[in-house]
Amino acid sequence: MASYEPDNIFAKILKGEIPCHKLYEDDDTLAFLDIMPRTEGHTLVITKEQAPDLFGITPQGLGKLMAVVQALAPKIKTAVGADGVLIQQFNGAAAGQTVFHLHVHILPIKDGVALGPQEGGMAEPDDLAMTAEKIRTSL
């Protein structure tokens, strides 16, 4: 099993050491906008439990994470006017994982709009703030 590095970027977000555009939080999960969005409304849902990937969490913890993904995804899709939702989750660098704290991507997809590249560049903070506000009002 992969080891957990407690100073990873998502651990710092959970500790409030670096900011995020927060959309939702409960006792077990935090959801915020991806700073390098591949689509408008690209959201990350992370566990508060310290797990590096899908294989480092209990089935119960995973169930709570996925329940939040299931609840948020259709609302985010509606908020940004998308037509579908892609759910992605990477395990290991070889599979494209770059932050080793368990997280699930919610990617709202609009008909005819191509998915942007992974790590395609940082979004403007004002654009992220506007998107976050639009989503929060519909949660």
Least Å from the CB of residue 86 to ligand AMP: 13
User: Does the protein bind ligand AMP through residue 66 (CB under 6 A)?
Assistant: no
Query: Could you say which of 90, 110, 116, 136 contacts ligand AMP (CB under 6 A)?
Result: 90
CB burial of 14-44 (b: ≥16 within 10 Å; e: otherwise) equals beeeeebbebbeeebbbbbbbbebbbbbbbb
Residue nearer to ligand AMP on the CB measure, 21 or 77: 21
Does 103 qualify as catalytic in the annotation? Answer: yes
Q: Which segment (32-40, 54-62, 73-81, 106-114) binds ligand AMP by CB under 6 A?
A: 32-40
Which residues in the chain belong to E strands, given as ranges? 22-25, 29-33, 43-47, 84-88, 103-109
Least Å from the CB of residue 135 to ligand AMP: 14
Q: Which residues are catalytic?
A: 103
